[in-house]
Structure 1
Amino acid sequence: MESKKIIQVEEKVPFKMLVPLSIQHMFAMFGASVLVPFIFGINPAVVLFMNGFGTLFFIFITKGKAPAYLGSSFAFLAPAGIVISKWGYHYALGGFVAVGICGCILALIIYKFGSDWIDTVLPPAAMGPVVALIGLELAGTAASNAGLKDEMIDMKNVIVFLVTLLTAVIGSVVFKKFLSVIPILIAIIVGYVAALLCGIVDFTEVSTAAWLSLPNFTAPKFKLEAILIILPVLLVVTSEHIGHQIVTSKIVNRDLIKDPGLHRSLLGDYISTTLSGFVGSVPTTTYGENIGVMAMTKVYSVYVIGGAAVLSVACSFIGKMTTLINTIPGPVIGGISFLLYGMIGASGIRILVDAQVDYGKSRNMAMTSVIFVTGLSGVAVQFGSIQLSGMVLACVVGMLMGLMFYGLDKLNLTNDRENG
């Protein structure tokens, strides 16, 4: 295999390559995906099960044409936290199911009326910065995971962080042949060894964990008030999904919005969320960490994504393995995230470059400027229990500006329409 050879979406991968490539994807999503059930106070085993099962279902729905890993969604944390504090986790699950069903209905509407509206509502001058914000707004999370924002910075964390990051960066440039497609996995292993040497890995929970255990499946309960608190998250997840599909399209050099279609990818995502709610897991969403892995390694095969999903399902039944993976310390996850989140941000800039956005046009300059500042300023808008901020708020602002310019064009009031 030549260095940096692209492995396309539909290409099968030899088993000896499939295993490490799949492990790499599973590790990339693990830290963030397991964090959500920890915040909700539930066992992560059922989440690993549904993340894997949901990803396999997503691949089936999208006919194996959209490489994406479905991990735990952070968008539900605030409203679900309110519901859990008032009525308990069972009623939050009912809200998850409701969002999933409404999302499936939205997918059917898009199937009926098409997705061409995206180019009008979010032109490249808007979509580029929105996609960039997917990675950029996570920069602080990467630094926090690494322990770089603590009041008292531990030099052990800094050492492990730098070892992990430098291994990933140098490996992506220096490694050749098969090693060139698993720099993330190698960086995680090297970072983990560095963490062991620095004495920041705790094996206490591993020694007490059972070898085999069933995921703790839980049934939902439904309450209209709880559903209404969680339902507005539909806008957040849909905006995030569209952004992820567009950035993935740029990475794999295919228009996934058209083929397999936004309706199929949304349907796969929301069916996964619906099923997750029915069995006691948290909602799922396409994961930026795994998009970053594809961008770095140029391995886009859905067979690799599927392999990671199978491993996730298997891990949900092996208590010691799940616990062992969970001992990967924050500085290792932070070191990897520094690179992966930055690559997602760079993909947004690539949209602007590839579309040859003309910043001599006032509308393009205005859209990009306002969207970037909205997403990075920390501004938040509250609608009841739902707070829009960061990339999601920037996406909404971009859509409103796109509609405004479209209306002004129709009224022949714009001064740059003839050039665009």
Structure 2
Amino acid sequence: MTDNVLRSDSKLEKEISLKSSSRKVVLALQHLIAMFGATVLVPMLTGLNPSIALFSAGMGTLIFHLCTKGKVPVFLGSSFAFIPVVITVNKLYNGDFSYAQGGMLVAGLIYVIVSLLIKKIGVEKIQKFLPSQVVGPMIIVIGMNLIPTAFDMASNNFMVAAITLATALLVNFKGKGFFKQLAILTGVIVGYLVSYKIGIVDMSIVKESPFISLPPFNAPKFDFGAIAIIAPVVLAVFMEHIGDITTNGQVVGKNFIEDPGLNRTLLGDGLATIAASLIGGPANTTYGENTGVLAITKNYDPSILRLAAVFAIALGFVSKVGAFLNTIPVPVMGGISIMLFSMISLVGVQTIKNNKVEFNTKNIIVMVTILVFGLGSSIVEKKFGITIGIPVTKTVKISGLSFAAIVGVALNAVLNKNEK
């Protein structure tokens, strides 16, 4: 009798374990789909190889989780901040991407050095410059600056984008249990089926690609000119990193700036970028798309992100699967991205609300300044061709979110210097 009970319990445990593993696989695939479009888009714009980008994104994510003790549910993908400087270097060196790799590798080293400095002086001295009236607007700007990109993607076919977005929202608000966590994946599937039905899915790339192939890894080359153009971008993306990690923490309900520490998250980004540069991939950064997935699914298990990283590495070798994912129409990804990026901005609003920021004159000035510089500078640049920012080199200028964050931090430090 006892043996039968033990066998029954063992069978039940196996079924529960299998069910849990199946859910993790589906959730990991959802994260993979969320990051796929943007991660592949960067190498497509710069001339780097998409397969290496996928491989380096997965590898970089695992490196990041190792550096952060597996505590932060983050996925690393291709950084958009490096696109203009990589294109510039490629033109200067006649399309030899190896020199851009060398510049990105040095940028990664700077990240590592900064992380060591933060460890030495202490995160507390950093945190006092980042109160909620600074961090909240920064998060809002991150999401709002990404929404036009999502809208441009959706504009390829507004009907498909609207169906995709509506499906995801319907599942998110009306779904129950585990199905509710699959809002993004469900939206993508429905959007894909509609796209296939109206004939905007191109399957030829799947037929033409081999099943398995080795990504064309490439070693970096170093030249001071290329390094001087690319390395200063670190100054521009440092505040974005803080914003992304803070956003992730706000979504999860933990302070990752304190534990595992900003020094460890920066170290993870730096080492991931170095590793990617060594094999021919783009610089890595934390991804807002995946933070949006966390906000929607409410599932914050870091092991799911690590599983997604393993899938990304595998996709670097399985050409057929990568080609199939590449057939997902742009408007489908646009519809989903509108939802993801909007969720990020809402997290910024919640940050201000939940931390009970006092709406006095000083704090209002700080918040409005960040929002105006963060959102308005891109409008000024498009309409008048004037870039508002801080020149770093002849080709690099700190602008947009990075400039807004620096001004906001400095302004808050001056106006609230006597506040606790």
Same fold flag (TM > 0.5): yes
Identity %: 39
User: 1:223: Cα distance to partner?
Assistant: 0.6
What is the letter of the counterpart of residue 182 of structure 1? L
* 2:3 alignment counterpart: none
* Residues 80-104 of structure 1 deviation map (CA, whole Å, 9 limit, x = unaligned): 1111110131110000100001110
Give the CA deviation at 1:13.
Answer: 8.4
- Provide the secondary structure at the position in 1 that maps to 2:128: helix
Match of 1:366 in 2: 365
Kindly indicate whether residue 81 of structure 2 is the aligned counterpart of residue 75 of structure 1: yes
Q: How does 1:171-320 map to 2 (within 5 A)?
A: 171-320=171-320
Q: Distance in 2 between matches of 1:38 and 1:281?
A: 12
TM-score by length of 1: 0.90
Where do 1:92-131 residues align within 5 Å?
Answer: 92-131=100-139
- CA deviations on 1:137-196 (whole Å, 9 max, x unpaired) are 011000011126xxxxxxxx1221111000010100111121111110111111100110
Whole-angstrom distance in 1 between the partners of 2:155 and 2:125:
42
Given that residues 235 and 398 in structure 2 are in contact (C-alpha distance below 8 angstroms), is that contact kept between their aligned partners in structure 1?
A: no
SS in 1 for 2:411: helix
Q: Which residue of 2 aligns with 1:396?
A: 406
Secondary structure at the aligned position of 1:285 is classed as strand
Partner secondary structure for residue 71 of structure 1: strand
Distance of 1:406 and 1:354 partners within structure 2: 20
Give the Cα–Cα distance (whole angstroms) in 1 for the partners of residues 231 and 48 of structure 2.
Answer: 21
- Which amino acid is 2:99 matched to? Y
Partner residue in 2 for 1:3: none
Aligned mates of 1:13, 1:75 — CA distance in 2: 40
Q: How many residues align?
A: 391
Provide the rounded CA distance (Å) in 1 between the counterparts of 2:215 and 2:260.
Answer: 32
Report Cα offsets for 1:232-272 as digits up to 9, x if no partner: 11122221111011111111111111111111111011100
Cα displacement string for residues 310-344 of structure 1 (whole angstroms, at most 9, x for unaligned residues): 11001110111111101111110011011100000
Q: Name the SS for the 1:138 alignment partner.
A: helix
Query: In 2, distance between residues paired with 1:55 and 1:404?
Result: 37
Counterpart of 1:57 (choices 48, 52, 63) is 63
Whether the aligned pair in 1 keeps the contact of 2:138 and 2:405 (CA below 8 Å) is yes
SS of residue matched to 1:388: strand
Find the aligned partners of 1:373 and 1:127 in 2 and give their Cα distance. Answer: 15
Aligned counterparts of 1:103 and 1:118: Cα–Cα separation in 2: 16
User: Partner residue of 2:22?
Assistant: 16
The aligned counterpart of 1:405 is 415
3-state SS of 2:123 partner: coil
> Does the CA contact (< 8 Å) of 1:120 and 1:406 recur in 2?
no
Letter matched to residue 126 of structure 2 = I
Distance 1:256 1:166 in 2: 33
Q: Contact (CA 8 Å) 1:120, 1:402: kept in 2 or not?
A: no
* Structure 2 counterparts to residues 339-350 of structure 1, below 5 A: 339-350=339-350
| Whole-angstrom distance in 1 between the partners of 2:302 and 2:198 | 37
5+ residue gaps, structure 2 = 1-16, 381-387
- Report what 2:9 is aligned to: none
Q: Aligned in 2, Cα 1:12/1:122: closer, same or farther, shift over 3 Å? A: farther
Q: Does the CA-based 8 Å contact 2:48-2:282 persist in structure 1?
A: no
Amino acid corresponding to residue 27 of structure 1 in structure 2: I
The alpha carbon displacement at 1:216 in A equals: 1.0
How big is the shift at 1:12? 12
The code of the aligned residue for 1:80 comes to V
Aligned to 1:37: 43
Query: What is the TM-score of this pair, normalised by structure 2?
Result: 0.90
- Greater relative contact order structure (CA < 8 Å, 6+ sep): 1
2:147 is equivalent to residue 139 of structure 1: yes
Q: Which amino acid aligns with 2:364?
A: M
Looking at structure 2, the residues matched to 92 and 404 of structure 1 have their Cα atoms a distance apart, in angstroms, of 39
CA distance in 2, matches of 1:20, 1:171: 16
